[in-house]
Amino acid sequence: MLVGCQVPAPPPVMEAIPKVTTRPVPEPEPREPSQWPLEPDVEEEPKSTVSLALLDSAGQLAATGRTDEAVETLERAIRIEPRRGDLWLRLARLQFNAGHFAQAEQNARKGLLFLTPGGEEARDAWLLIAAAREALGHIEEARSIRARWGVFRG
């Protein structure tokens, strides 16, 4: 047996656990169904006067056959307001008319991100995509898009 200076272990210290108090969370007041918004509160952003002027300028340049300058002008307008789907669609149309079909498709698809789904401009964007796909040799894909939008081409 081992004998020595053995000191008994100190008694365990019991720390007081702080009492947690919770405050009741008030319940939200119920709303009548007539008060529920049918559509989310999304306000349309006002269009910049600068981008409107650039859009007008691009239209004039395109009308006089200065397509490259019109494209550059629209690109400036898009840098100012990149969430305007109509600007992307105008750019896509100019590029399609200039024979840049892949760029036209890409920009029409970007425009779709910001256009109202199922709206007239979205329909125009899809039909432009169909025309670009057809010009790039993807005939069946173009037919499928046109069939979806109820437009048949002979």
Instruction: Assign residue 112 the CATH number of its domain.
Output: 1.25.40.10
This model's pTM is above 0.95: no
89 assigned to some structural domain: yes
19 assigned to some structural domain: no
Please write the tens of the pLDDT for every residue from 45-91. Answer: 568 899 999 999 999 999 999 999 999 999 999 999 999 999 999 99
The count of structural domains within the chain is 1
Q: What is the extent of the structural domain holding 81?
A: 49-148
62 assigned to some structural domain: yes
142 assigned to some structural domain: yes
20 assigned to some structural domain: no
Report percent pLDDT > 70 for the chain: 68
CA distances from 76 to 43, 61, 80, 110 (A): 24, 14, 7, 16
Nearest CA to 89 out of 99, 104, 76, 102 is that of 104
User: What is the per-residue pLDDT for 37?
Assistant: 41
Please write the tens of the pLDDT for every residue from 123-144. Answer: 999 999 999 999 999 999 999 9
**74 near 58, Cβ under 8 Å?**
yes
14 assigned to some structural domain: no
Is the predicted pLDDT of residue 6 greater than 90, yes or no? Answer: no
Q: Residues with Cβ < 8 Å from 128, sequence gap 6 or more?
A: 89, 92, 93, 96, 104, 105, 108
User: What is the per-residue pLDDT for 29?
Assistant: 57
Segment 101-112 mean pLDDT:
97
